[in-house]
């Protein structure tokens, strides 16, 4: 549970978002009109919820999310501010962390290889 949300309630809210997108009624439902940003919010909240699951903690599974930044790829385009090697740096950093749970990092969001605030 994170901010009063369970995994199941988060999935319900995501389904509501999908239905709004399919019905083209974002304004009526008061959703922000930025589905890309909303998808990242859902991913980061799910990461936090999942990271606190009893079985995840019992097995010592590390769970993080990260942002590579705006990377020059087909999606990011030529004007993006980061090269592919720069975009890979944060995920690579997370892969190299010791295989032990670190409460200060578990379920957290990373940017530039550091724990960052979600807002």
CB under 8 Å to 105, separation ≥6 — which residues? 62, 64, 97, 115
Decide if 45 contacts 17 (C-beta within 8 A): no
Q: Is 36 a catalytic residue?
A: yes
Q: Which of 63, 58, 67 is nearest to 107 (CA)?
A: 63
Query: Which residue in 36, 64, 92, 111 is the catalytic one?
Result: 36
**Strand boundaries in 33-111, DSSP class E:** 65-67, 109-111
Active site residues: 36
């Amino acid at each position: 549970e994170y901010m009063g949300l369970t995994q199941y309630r988060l999935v319900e809210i995501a389904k509501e978002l999908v239905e709004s997108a399919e019905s083209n009624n974002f304004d009526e439902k008061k959703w922000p009109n930025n589905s890309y940003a909303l998808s990242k919010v859902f991913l980061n909240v799910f990461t936090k919820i999942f990271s606190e699951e009893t079985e995840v903690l019992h097995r010592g599974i590390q769970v993080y999310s990260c942002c590579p930044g705006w990377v020059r790829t087909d999606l990011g385009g030529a004007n993006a501010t980061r090269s592919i090697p720069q975009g890979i740096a944060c995920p690579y950093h997370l892969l190299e962390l010791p295989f032990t749970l670190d409460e200060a990092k578990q379920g957290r969001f990373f940017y530039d290889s550091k724990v960052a605030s979600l807002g």
